[in-house]
Amino acid sequence: MRVMIVTVVVVIGFAVFVSSKQIKRNRRIQEEVAALEAEASKIRRENETLSERISYFSSSDFREQEAKKKLGLKKIGETLAVIKLAPEYNGEKQERNIQNEIAIEVAADDTKENVSNYKKWWKIFF
């Protein structure tokens, strides 16, 4: 009888030991799944953001804005004016912030389509 009780206790102890290991393993797997799901949702958000940026960069508004900003192009009939902002006061000295100057030149002849580019550049520099 004692042998039977000892055997039952050992079997129950072994079952509890195996079950506890299995429970720990399941928790670890669930934590890894949760971490991977969080990473997947983060990647989905990044993909959505990139898709929005791609659609913006391929739009005609963006192309027009970049052509005006980087290449100095303008639409037919648009005029250019130069607006210089007042220099900012920084403590003891005044500095002119070149980035704040907006170059827009108003010229009646530039509205004509037949003015060549070298004449426009000549006019800008001289």
Question: What's the token pair of residue 32?
Answer: 């890894």
Average pLDDT over residues 49-75: 87
**pLDDT-based confidence at residue 79 (cuts at 50, 70, 90):** confident
With 90 as the cut, is the pLDDT of residue 111 above it? no
Report strand pairing: 93-95 vs 88-90.
Answer: antiparallel
Element at 31 (helix H, strand E): helix 2-57
Asked if residue 7 and residue 46 are part of one domain, the reply reads yes
Answer yes or no: do 88 and 114 share one domain.
yes
54 and 98 in a single domain? The answer is no
Number of structural domains found in the chain: 2
Whether residue 63 is contained in a domain is answered as no
| Same domain assignment for residues 44 and 79 | no
Residue 102's SS3 state is strand
The predicted model scores a pTM of: 0.45
User: Which of 28-32, 115-119, 121-125 is most confident?
Assistant: 28-32
Helix then strand count (H, E) for the chain reads 3, 2
Between 99 and 76, name the one with better pLDDT. Answer: 76
Same domain? 49 vs 78: no
Same domain, 48 and 87: no
* Domain boundaries, position 103: 73-125
